[in-house]
A and B are shown apart, each in its own frame.
Chain A
Amino acid sequence: MVVFPTCLVELVAPAVGQAVVRALEARGYTVTVGRGATCCGQPAWNAGYVKDARRVARRTAKALDRTTGPVVVPSGSCAAMMHEYWPELLGESGVGVASRVVEFSAFLGAGADVQARPAGDGVAYHDSCHMLRSLGIKEEPRRLLGGTAELSERCCGFGGTFSVKLPEVSTAMADEKLDEVVAAGCDTLVGCDLSCLMHLDGRARRRGLGLTVRHLAEVLADG
């Protein structure tokens, strides 16, 4: 099994990457990290710059193609990008890796033998849109996390370059989501996609909400 940490984890939250490895190893998996991979190409793909997306995706596909077994990706939107769009973007060369891609919580949650935490201890779970709607992953992270407060399935407003092209709209969406977390009486927000989490955490800190925002892998690795 190989982990593709994703660009964002490498760039802004290497600790999440380490937590992914620890969480997998703690459950008996032998983990290798995809060497030479960079990014799935999603930032450019979502912005409409297809050629640039292809150039970057090709590099990562090539690196991952040298590995075998499931490619575990700790980001719903990157997993969706690879699984749903790589065959179209990269043709034949993208199909092999795309079919091996598994989102982190779906990989662990499929055969979950995890102690459920009690409900109502202040943890809310955020569904990331591509993970929820494109990949249809909803139950697995909840099963892994135990009791969580349910939020709406509404987008948090990150949306890749959307967050910086239309920052005000993006922030209004984040605020609505964060208000839900606060209204649910939660002080911890957990998700499976660092992009949403970076956006929500950045906004929560600017607002001084005192929220702890964590990736599911960190919760699983460190309790």
Chain B
Amino acid sequence: MAEAAFKARAHGALNDDHLRGALRTATDVLGMMRPVSLQDLADPDAVRDTARTIRKRMVADLPRVLDRFVENVDAVGGTVFRAANGDAAVAYIVGIAQQRGARVVAKGKSMASEEIHLNAGLEAAGVTVVETDLGEFIIQLAGETPSHIIAPAIHKTRYDVAELFTADAAARGETGAPVAPDIPAEFAYARSRLREAFLEADIGVTGVNFAVAETGSICLVENEGNGRMCTTLPRVHIAVMGMERIVETWDELDVMLNVLARSATGQPLSVYTNILTGPRRVDDVDGPEELHVVILDNGRSAIRGTKFEDVLDCIRCGACLNVCPVYRNVGGHAYNAVYSGPIGAVLTPLLRPDDPEARELSQASSLCGACWEACPVRIPLHEMLLDLRARDAPGDGGATRRIGFSLWSWLWSTRAGFVATKVASRVGRRVGRRARRAPGWAGAWLSTREAPK
């Protein structure tokens, strides 16, 4: 079956009331904030259209805009590494850590670094990695992966967090009372714990929300100040960006920032909007001595120029996750992919075309279109899911489905064949009126629902 693995993981999630409660509360809040905050804009639809136009132009003109960015990073004293794939990116970053004798890396939130499994690479080289975004820190302690693009620990409640923090304190040999399951106590624990990491870290690694080509700058949005710490305290700052994460000008950045935080969390602007241009200059009071920007391809250029190109317009706001009724019920881990929800269901099989489990994800949607409606740059995700199904389903769905659909289309391409089905279905429903079991799809229907009267 072309959806077996997803189905099994979804089963686990659906039977976890605790998880579903946490997901519903969190997605309800995020989903409600977005439309409200977009109303602050004089003409939200026009801003979204402009944002979409900018993104499309960037993707169409990507090689030139990237060259301009690279040239300007170079001009302000940064170093750029273009990584064809995840392994190359990790090898480069591990190489820097080793050359600088780094023991501790403080990390800001970065989905691109998740995509390349950077933490595992650094840890294998003996480097301690501390995630400093609160959500990322929580799931690092839990030994899990992010379950949401912008809210990685969306599936955890404060009770879960209290347990994790208490266990962490014990493991570090701290004696004292357990961390209480209330938010201020948890903040206090995280703050003192992370402060240590910032001061110890030899290298700060972050993602990039937007690179700005005209000045070689990188823009980093965050709410906790940890991104600013990671980019100013350690001697070396390494920023990892997907190659499409770029705008050409500050004016374009302005438009994108207008929709990013609003779509993500319903904030007009995130609490911290950092724009960094090169490493520390002579008269700067702080900042890293070295800046490296890793530009990651990892399958992206292969998407350019195909019918799926629009997926590169994504600005990773997570709005599609918050409105997706499937995500809302099963959570991010059911997707078993770095990017979950509707964007993950489209992006994952494009980045991993040879992985049958990734190709399953296009099935994880009722094609309701809520993602498309919420997307600030109007990516037609539901259409792309259809296109992916058309690409993969006939091959991956197996012979039974292929033959089934073929028989169906043969019958229903004539009125006589249709009438025959009509009679058969009436007889079938009469005979099996009280049936709760049936083979195949009829059985799947009856497992939770009555047959039509």
Contacts and interface: CB of A to CB of B under 8 A. Distances in A.
Interface of A: 7, 10-13, 35-39, 43-53, 55-56, 58-59, 63, 129-130, 133-134, 153-155, 157-174, 176, 198-199, 201-203, 205-206
Contact count band on B: 35 or more
Given A48-B390, A48-B391, A48-B393, A205 B415 contact: no
B26 to A, nearest CB: 15
Interface in B399-429: 401-402, 405-406, 408-410, 412-415, 417-418, 421-422, 425, 429
Interface in B286-310: none
Nearest to A53: B409
Contact of A56 (B412, B445, B452): B412
A181 B393 CA distance: 35
Contacts of A53: 409
A128 to B, nearest CB: 9
A35 to B, nearest CB: 8
Contacts of A158: 366
B329 A58 contact: no
Interface in B89-114: none
Q: Is the interface of A mostly helix, strand, loop or mixed?
A: helix
Contacts, number: 174
Interface of B: 1-3, 6-7, 10-11, 14, 325-326, 329-330, 362-370, 372-373, 386, 388-394, 397, 401-402, 405-406, 408-410, 412-415, 417-418, 421-422, 425, 429, 441-442, 444-445, 447-453
Contacts of A130: 367, 369
B409 A164 contact: no
B366 A159 contact: yes
The binding surface of chain B is classed by DSSP as helix
B425 A155 contact: no
A49 B405 contact: yes
B33 to A, nearest CB: 16
Contacts of A45: 386
Contacts of A48: 362, 386, 388-394, 397
Contacts of A155: 325, 366, 368, 370
A167 B408 contact: no
A67 to B, nearest CB: 15
Given A44-B409, A59-B412, A169-B364, 16 more contacts: A38-B414, A49-B409, A51-B409, A129-B367, A134-B369, A155-B325, A158-B366, A163-B444, A164-B445, A167-B445, A168-B10, A168-B448, A170-B448, A173-B325, A202-B445, A206-B448
